[in-house]
Structure 1
Amino acid sequence: MTPEILKTIVIQHPERTYFMKIRFFALLAGFLMLQSGANAQRLKIATVDMERLFNEYHKTTSVQRDINIERARIQKDNNLRLKDIRDIVDSLQEIREQLKDKELGDKKRQDLRQDASDLSQDGIHKERERSEFLERRNRTLSEKMTKQMRAILVTIQRAVSERAKAGNYDYIFDQSGNSNQGIPFVLHARDTTDLTDSLLEELNQDAPEDSKEGE
């Protein structure tokens, strides 16, 4: 699962994109100059796959499971509402068939037309309620999901930051990040340490037993 909040944000303003690229390449050039200096201190660099950390973190799995359960509940409720509306449509169709009877009395015909009008209004009301219900519940679920996913990202970023300090790393690059053209920012990195597995072990050390068994 790759959430929208993990995707690269594309800046719509060409000027900002241009200057952002200038700053990135300036930073990269400065980084290379630091490495190429004869007396430069050797930098300690590591990489991490943030997408994998997010996807394989037990809290992400738990949140996604809860979201799927809630989506199923919403769909079940929506299906029940749709059934009520279909029943109204079927009743209206039956009335239309009865109204085709040329031998139908005026009183009966008038009553059937009134029934059809009442059913039609009821159907319109129920469809409006269903639509508003679906929009409201989906919006609430989306907001809840975004909040929970952002909290998970903060936890992961904090773990990476603490590892950087503990390991005295100068740089930790996200190897899952891509440029706007879909090209990975880190194409090659020599003598670097991949911290992904050890960070996953750290993040999942408090995972429930049933979660560990499912891995």
Structure 2
Amino acid sequence: MTIIRRISALVAAVALCATAAAQEGKLKIATVDMQQVFKEYHRTNEAQKEINVERLRIQKDNNDRLATIRELDTQLQTMRKQLEDPTIAQSKKESLSIEWGVKQQEGTALDRERREYLQRRTETLNQKMVQRMKGILEEIRKLVEEKAKAEDYDYVFDKSGLSTSQVPFFLYTKDATDITAVLLKELNKDAPAESAPSPEETPAGE
């Protein structure tokens, strides 16, 4: 995700400082796969399920509006055929023409309203999703900080971080402890059984 990549960029900057500090003495270093922790944290899965439900609700509302517009379009097509029918009296055509114009304007207004609704609801949902994911990442970051202080680590690096060329920042780290599994165990200790993440529900990268 984009948010994780931003964190990784900060990690890379810290790594440069750590390299210099390592020359002065032995450092206690740990690594963590932030992407794995984020994806496998039960609260991430729960948030994604809620977002998916809301997305389906928006799609249903949009489909209902489309059905109304299509029904109106069918009526317009029927009326147009009547207007083109030479057997229909002129007075009848004049009233049909007025009605056709009113319905056409109604259809245009309904479609404009549908598009605005879809855009508004989608933007709101996207903002909600970003805020939820930021909150989860902050929760994970705090746990990493607490773990680092408790275990007296000098540095904790995100091994899932990539450079601008999409190459991992850390190809090799000597004597580093991977705390990914420990963090996941702590984060998911109270997870309900139904919150186990499944591949199709794992948030896609941005």
For the aligned pair, the TM-score class normalised by the smaller chain equals 0.7 to 0.9
Distance in 1 of aligned mates of 2:155 and 2:197: 34
The Cα of 1:213 is off from its aligned counterpart by 9.2
- Find out whether 1:7 has 2:10 as its counterpart: no
The Cα of 1:184 is off from its aligned counterpart by 0.9
Aligned to 1:52: 36
* Misfit runs of 4+, over 4 Å: 212-215
Higher mean C-alpha displacement, 138-147 vs 48-57: 138-147
The answer on whether the counterparts of 1:8 and 1:177 sit within 8 Å (CA) in structure 2 is no
CA offset digits 1:121-152 (Å, max 9, x no partner): 11011112111211111121111111111110
CA offset digits 1:104-129 (Å, max 9, x no partner): 10111011111110110110111121
Q: Any residues of structure 2 matched to 1:156-175 within 5 Å, and which?
A: 156-175=140-159
Aligned to 1:92: 76
Alignment gaps of 5+ in structure 2: 200-206
Aligned to 1:15: none
Helix, strand or coil at the partner of 2:153: coil
Helix, strand or coil at the partner of 2:160: coil
Amino acid at match of 1:129: E
- Find out whether 1:141 has 2:128 as its counterpart: no
Helix, strand or coil at the partner of 2:167: coil
Percent sequence identity is 44
Aligned to 2:177: 193
Distance in 1 of aligned mates of 2:138 and 2:20: 32
Higher mean C-alpha displacement, 154-163 vs 102-111: 102-111
Alignment gaps of 5+ in structure 1: 12-19
Tell me the C-alpha RMSD between the 2 structures: 2.3
Amino acid at match of 2:29: I
TM-score (norm 1): 0.84
Amino acid at match of 1:35: A
The answer on whether the counterparts of 2:37 and 2:180 sit within 8 Å (CA) in structure 1 is yes
CA offset digits 1:144-185 (Å, max 9, x no partner): 111111110110000000000001000111000111111111
Q: Any residues of structure 2 matched to 1:34-45 within 5 Å, and which?
A: 34-37=21-24, 40=25, 42-45=26-29
Aligned to 1:67: 51
Distance in 1 of aligned mates of 2:154 and 2:173: 14
Helix, strand or coil at the partner of 2:110: helix
Helix, strand or coil at the partner of 2:157: strand
The answer on whether the counterparts of 2:42 and 2:197 sit within 8 Å (CA) in structure 1 is no
Helix, strand or coil at the partner of 2:163: coil
Distance in 2 of aligned mates of 1:164 and 1:123: 61
TM-score (norm 2): 0.88
Distance in 1 of aligned mates of 2:55 and 2:44: 16
